[in-house]
């Protein structure tokens, strides 16, 4: 998808501050951070929303979660705690229609989130 910003980041067409790369996912610092540490984990495969994921995407979704944990370890906030968030569709807060996992840490994250 040439018009998808995350596809373009995954293809190397748009620069990003990369944290982690695997064959299936890419993690990078969010430009619009809402916590001291805020990273995004995206699949290299374009899937618009979680609702568009299929049973054959199970492994990829697992790869995203494991990458999120690795990002927290690499950035040094895993032991203190962190939050992962995957927004779905407009009312769920999704603004880029390429699934992405937010990894947030570096401060006490209150509940409920909002």
Q: Which candidate in 29, 90, 98, 100 is catalytic?
A: 100
| 18: nearest Cα among 10, 7, 29, 4 | 29
| 83: nearest Cα among 42, 43, 35 | 35
3 state SS of 57: helix
Asked if 100 is an active-site residue, the reply is yes
Proportion of the chain in helix, strand, coil states, percent, rounded to 5: 30, 20, 50
- Residues tagged active-site: 100
């Amino acid at each position: 998808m040439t018009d998808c910003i995350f596809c373009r980041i995954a293809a190397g067409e748009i620069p990003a501050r990369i944290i982690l790369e695997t064959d299936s996912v890419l993690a990078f610092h969010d430009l619009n951070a809402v916590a001291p540490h805020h990273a995004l984990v995206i699949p290299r495969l374009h899937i618009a929303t979680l609702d568009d994921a299929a049973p054959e995407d199970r492994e990829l979704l697992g790869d995203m979660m494991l990458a999120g944990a690795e990002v927290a370890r690499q950035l040094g906030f895993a032991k203190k705690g962190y939050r992962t968030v995957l927004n779905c569709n407009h009312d769920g807060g999704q603004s880029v229609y390429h699934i992405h996992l937010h990894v947030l840490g570096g401060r006490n994250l209150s509940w409920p989130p909002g």
